Amino acid sequence: MASLTAPAGAAPASSAAASRNGTHTVQEVESITIRFCGDSGDGMQLAGTRFTDTAAILGNDIATFPDFPAEIRAPAGTLAGVSGFQVHFSSNDIHTPGDVLDALVVMNPAALKTNLRDLKKGGILIVNTDAFAQNDLDKAKYKSNPLEDGSLAGYHVVRVAVSKLNKEAVRECGLSPREQDRCKNFFALGLVYWLYERPLEATIKWLKDKFGKKPDHKPVLDANTAALKAGYNYGETVELLPVQYKVAKAKIPPGQYRKITGNEAIAIGLVAASHAANKQLVYSGYPITPASSVLEDLSQPEMRRHGVKTLQAEDEIAAIGVALGASFGGAIGVTGTSGPGICLKSEAINLAVMTELPLVILDVQRGGPSTGLPTKTEQADLLQAMFGRNGESPVAILAPQSPVDCFDITYEAVKIATRFMCPVFVLSDGYIANGSEPWKIPDVAKLPKIEIIHATKPNADSANGAVHEHGEGEGGGAGKFLPYKRDEYLSRPWAIPGTPGLEHRIGGIEKQDVTGNINYEPANHEHMVHTRWKKIENIALTIPDLDVIGDGDADLLVIGWGGTYGSITTAVDRVRKSGKKVAQAHLRYLNPMPKNTEAVLKRFKKILVPELNSGQLCWLLRAKYLAPAEGYNKVQGRPFLVSEIETAIANML
Amino acid sequence: MSATALPTLSVKELTTDQEVRWCPGCGDYSILAQMKKALANVGVPREKMVFVSGIGCSSRFPYYMNTYGFHTIHGRAPTVATGLRLANPDLQIWVVTGDGDGLSIGGNHLLHVLRRNIDLKILLFNNEIYGLTKGQYSPTSRTGTPSKTSKTGSLETPIRPLTIAIASEATFVARTVDVDVKHLTETLQKAAAHKGAAFVEIYQNCKIFNDEVWAYATDKSVKADNLLYVEHGKPMVFGKDRNKGIRLNGLKPEVVEIGKDCGLDDVLVHDETTEDPTLATLLSRMVGPKFPEVVGVFRSFRKPCYEELLDKQIADITAKKGKGVVADLFKAEDVWTVE
């Protein structure tokens, strides 16, 4: 998705007035942002997902943002239990789920109270009036009924008795009253489909695929289909609004597309990389939000066909131990978690650093410290990944910038881990893990190759077979295997147990270089500390340079990393469209950074670093390059709004 | 096992060039020596043997075996060994741990590796003390044990390693003694032959910090009265004069004198093959001086291993639907084409 055009949620681009029945119009708009929200039991995630799929199939560009509470079912109707799903769909190239809402669907007062602030003035507010009894208002801590006290005057309020109308529609389908009520998300979805002139076919097909196979699911299939149609027809019949909105297809590069979330892309990326490397993938994790779905995806029966082995470990430490053991055994060992899990894995990460084995460590970051905000996003584990272990402990760190980029970054992580025999962090975050966007399905033949060469025979020659300069002890002599004899990148050989003649021992105690024997010599230790750093720095020789986009001759560079890419890119684009000069760079490689990073930073008078933390990349850039970097920071468990970054940029110009 | 076609190794071939750094008189020397003897004839080539350890005196073991080896971190050897097993079904993997490493810091992993029945041979060198950190009490130290961190005696109830292993559904559970070289060698060979998680407790003497803690089980003048060597299908008879036995009184075992209290027929007969944990649990809870302590194989039976079941899942679905190719990964519920 290369270029940007108009701001998200823009005003009507044209007002093509294809009148439906003479009394109302259809307006064509560029982008729409809509949020479905209700109680966490109201099925809002599902309604949002279905709406997104329909938009994608119709050819819109899409970006989504699910926002749900940590509690699985907080008491019904309370503020803590509100679950929302936001969809941004557009006829243009978009990078974020949208700042402000054009339309908001609320299924109860709690949803209204917690989400109204994001609806634009004059925006459409669809309210389920059946959920506004005194009891409901009390649970949401409303002193007066907002539907009656005039507090919604600035919005276009659409009152619909969703619960009652839905029950009428599904009454004949053979469900219990409770089950009937659970179809109301599809009634609301139908209503919104009408509002945006969306066909129902894709959703009906989905329902058939899901519930059409077993006869005892028939009532569920019938009822949801009926609710969906009833919602649509209700909108049409009562002419709910004088205007329907239409969003045309986006100009998207031709190809086959699917929708993908960051975590899905990680799972697929790992398996694709294991194919490219012709290796078995062993993934071990312990359930933790928001990383669990990677373990879930990889343990699916379909993944077994790819030879994927998974183990749900007894704890975070076991999970990384299993992954590291698998790497020792010649597989691609991967573990995944979130920040609290990284804390527990620290010691084992250092074992991988010391034994110089390949290992991919996925950290889907969430709000911290401690348990923090399990379902909310944050970028606050960068310095933990960089430094959070005992001793000097260099690891490679990569960060995907979007849901789609999770595929490429994960694939790259496997490549680096196996080429450089080192642990590689993938720092994703809750925002891109759960968010989705269209993914152009890659051409398998064009995926990068991953070539792995295992040691198969002894590597000692007479020159290094004797005593090594950095320590005493036996070297071995020609015909021996030297597990720490390094190649041009300082990477050591990967000899798999089972290979005759290469028997060797590794471990966490300091090693003599070349021989791998235990060694406590002062000079050898210093040499090994430096060698481990140098090896990680050598990765920079194989990664792409940092690109500068926007105005190369600007005074200001905006530089970010990870999941903030979409917001920063959109903000920079808007500022440039307003006639001001600004440049942008985004780091996908955090350690080592691309080799031209310093040169890029030196070209600009001012550097702005927006981050969802208190300034961690900013700290690194200042420390490494003495760059005059200034942070723009937000630590609220929420992604940046584009407007927030626009303001931060404006303040620097 | 046919002896002819299988490789045999010499003790020398299994010895590395590394200097052994245990204290003089340490029980570990005996275990290392018997291990080499035992492995010389198990029919597995050197390159297919791997020793994985955690942290502690016992965990230096891999450095002295000329096989593949991984000296991991404190308590975590079972996890690393599990990963290794998943990656490679073809290896014979030994986990060497101690009472602190295996039952304290790594206690959790031990439960889970056993219940998953990962095909690993786990040796727990029990010396009832922390040796490498120089003499603090361990989770197996007897109540009242004076140590550097329990000057006035340990206040804790010790863990019974084999009771834990049995409760964790281990499919092979045995106990042996460091200086009983014949029994030790045989037990190691039995563990080597077992398919599944094998757990062996070895009474091991720490010369420096807990010397003589196993004297009752090693001193020739008293050990026959203090140890009960169990064998499958044989009555549980012990004592210098082979005249003492174990009889069940209700749910409680009791020591009886054969010929005086009862006949040989009344003595419990050992059954190591039963999956029912009752007998093995009962034996694991017999502690001196009231009872003889049991050495030998407590239980040994075959049950599918986690990795076998996983391989079967992979084989079954692959047979049914074919091996996955990369393009399959990219499929989704909805795929659309942009012209």
Q: For residue A470, what pLDDT is reported?
A: 42
DSSP B225-266: HHEEEE-TTSB-EESTTS-EEEEEETTEEEEEEBTTTB-GGG
Indicate the pLDDT class of residue A462, thresholds 50, 70 and 90: low
Q: What are phi and psi of A490, to 5 degrees?
A: 75, 15
Q: What are phi and psi of B282, to 5 degrees?
A: -60, -45
> Which domains does chain B possess?
27-218 (3.40.50.970)
Q: Does B309 touch chain A (CB under 8 A)?
A: no
Query: What average pLDDT score do residues A482-505 get?
Result: 97
User: What residue of B is the nearest CA neighbor of A350?
Assistant: B73
* pLDDT > 90? residue A546: yes
CA distance A490 to chain B (A): 21
- How far apart are alpha carbons B238 and B224 in whole angstroms? 7
Regarding predicted confidence, which is higher, B18 or A629?
Answer: A629
Burial code (b: 16+ CB inside 10 Å, e: under 16) for A169-208 equals bbeebebeeeebbbbbbbbbbbbbbbbbebebebbbebbe
Q: For residue A11, what pLDDT is reported?
A: 38
* pLDDT > 60? residue B152: yes
In chain A, what are the helix, strand and coil shares in percent, each to the nearest 5? Answer: 40, 20, 40
Q: What are phi and psi of A512, to 5 degrees?
A: -75, 135
* pLDDT > 60? residue A492: yes
* pLDDT > 60? residue B1: no
CA R_g for chain B: 22
Indicate the pLDDT class of residue A161, thresholds 50, 70 and 90: very high
A-B CB pairs within 8 A amount to 224
Q: What are phi and psi of B15, to 5 degrees?
A: -100, 135
User: What residue of B is the nearest CA neighbor of A256?
Assistant: B337
Q: For residue A111, what pLDDT is reported?
A: 97
**β partners of residue A637:** none
- How far apart are alpha carbons B255 and B245 in whole angstroms? 6
Query: What average pLDDT score do residues A235-261 get?
Result: 90
Indicate the pLDDT class of residue A109, thresholds 50, 70 and 90: very high
* pLDDT > 50? residue A13: no
Burial code (b: 16+ CB inside 10 Å, e: under 16) for B201-237 equals bbbbbbbbbbeebbebbbeeeebbbbbbbbeeeebbb
Cα three-residue angle A158-A162-A168, rounded to 5 degrees? 135
Q: For residue A24, what pLDDT is reported?
A: 73
The per-residue pLDDT for range A520-535, each reduced to its tens digit, is 999 999 999 999 999 9
DSSP A336-351: EE-HHHHHHHHHHHHH
Indicate the pLDDT class of residue A22, thresholds 50, 70 and 90: low
Kindly report the number of other CB atoms within 10 A of residue A517's CB atom: 26
* pLDDT > 90? residue B258: yes
A389 closest CA partner among A484, A508, A507: A508
Pairing mode, strands B293-300 and B227-230:
parallel
Query: What average pLDDT score do residues B265-291 get?
Result: 97
Q: For residue A461, what pLDDT is reported?
A: 79
Indicate the pLDDT class of residue B311, thresholds 50, 70 and 90: very high
Indicate the pLDDT class of residue A477, thresholds 50, 70 and 90: low
> Which domains does chain A possess?
31-247 (3.40.920.10), 258-446 (3.40.50.970), 549-652 (3.40.50.920)
ipTM above 0.90, yes or no: yes
- Nearest-CB residue to A329 (from B74, B83, B329): B83
Count of all residues that appear for chain A in the document: 653
CA distance B188 to chain A (A): 21
Indicate the pLDDT class of residue A5, thresholds 50, 70 and 90: very low
**β partners of residue B203:** B126, B177
Q: For residue A478, what pLDDT is reported?
A: 67
Q: Which residues, 6+ apart, have CB-to-CB distance to A595 below 8 Å? A: A540, A541, A545
The per-residue pLDDT for range A301-350, each reduced to its tens digit, is 999 999 999 999 999 999 999 999 999 999 999 999 999 999 999 999 99
* pLDDT > 90? residue A72: no
The per-residue pLDDT for range B244-255, each reduced to its tens digit, is 999 999 999 999
Sheet bearing A156-160, strands edge to edge: A61-67, A82-90, A31-39, A101-106, A119-128, A156-160
Task: Report the residue of A332, A443, A503 to disrupt the B interface, i.e. the one with the largest count of B CBs within 10 Å.
Answer: A503
Q: For residue A602, what pLDDT is reported?
A: 97
Sheet bearing A25-29, strands edge to edge: A12-14, A25-29, A243-247
Q: What are phi and psi of A585, to 5 degrees?
A: -140, 150
Indicate the pLDDT class of residue B2, thresholds 50, 70 and 90: very low
Q: For residue B338, what pLDDT is reported?
A: 85
User: Percent of chain B beyond pLDDT 90?
Assistant: 94
* pLDDT > 90? residue A278: yes
Across the interface, whether the CB atoms of B334 and A355 are under 8 A apart is answered no
Which range (A234-248, A275-289, A556-570, B128-142) has the least confidence?
Answer: A234-248
Q: Which residue has the tokens 């409303």?
A: A142
* pLDDT > 60? residue A472: no
Q: For residue A19, what pLDDT is reported?
A: 41
Q: How many CA atoms lie within 13 A of B45 on its CB side?
A: 11
- How far apart are alpha carbons A9 and A14 in whole angstroms? 14
Q: Which of residues 42-71 of B touch A (CB under 8 A)?
A: 45-48, 50-52, 62-63, 66-71
- Nearest-CB residue to A500 (from B47, B306, B334): B47
A537, two tokens: 């720095």
Q: Residue B334: its chain A contacts at CB < 8 A?
A: 53, 56-57, 202, 206, 258-259
User: Percent of chain A beyond pLDDT 70?
Assistant: 94
Indicate the pLDDT class of residue A12, thresholds 50, 70 and 90: very low
Count of all residues that appear for chain B in the document: 339
Backbone region of residue A461 per phi and psi (left: phi > 0; alpha: psi in -120 to 50; beta: other values):
beta
- Nearest-CB residue to B327 (from A314, A355, A444): A444
Q: How far is CA B275 from CA B230, B232, B278, B300, in A?
A: 17, 14, 9, 8
A353, two tokens: 């650093």
> Mutual orientation of helices A405-420 and A522-538 as an angle, nearest 10°?
140
B84, two tokens: 């290794």
- Nearest-CB residue to A321 (from B71, B80, B339): B80
**β partners of residue A31:** A90
The per-residue pLDDT for range B21-32, each reduced to its tens digit, is 999 999 999 999
- Nearest-CB residue to B314 (from A304, A326, A504): A304
Task: Report the residue of B14, B65, B314 to disrupt the A interface, i.e. the one with the largest count of A CBs within 10 Å.
Answer: B314
Which range (A463-467, B106-110, B296-300) has the least confidence?
Answer: A463-467
Position B236: which residue type?
M
Q: Which residues, 6+ apart, have CB-to-CB distance to A136 below 8 Å? A: A77, A108, A109, A110
Q: Does B19 touch chain A (CB under 8 A)?
A: no
Q: For residue B4, what pLDDT is reported?
A: 54
Q: Residue A515: its chain B contacts at CB < 8 A?
A: none
The per-residue pLDDT for range A112-159, each reduced to its tens digit, is 999 999 999 999 999 999 999 999 999 999 999 999 999 999 999 999
- Do the Cβ atoms of B120 and B94 come closer than 8 Å? yes
Q: Residue A504: its chain B contacts at CB < 8 A?
A: 68-69
- Nearest-CB residue to B87 (from A53, A302, A329): A329
A536 closest CA partner among A409, A388, A353, A336: A353
CA distance A101 to chain B (A): 26
**β partners of residue A104:** A35, A125
Q: For residue B334, what pLDDT is reported?
A: 77
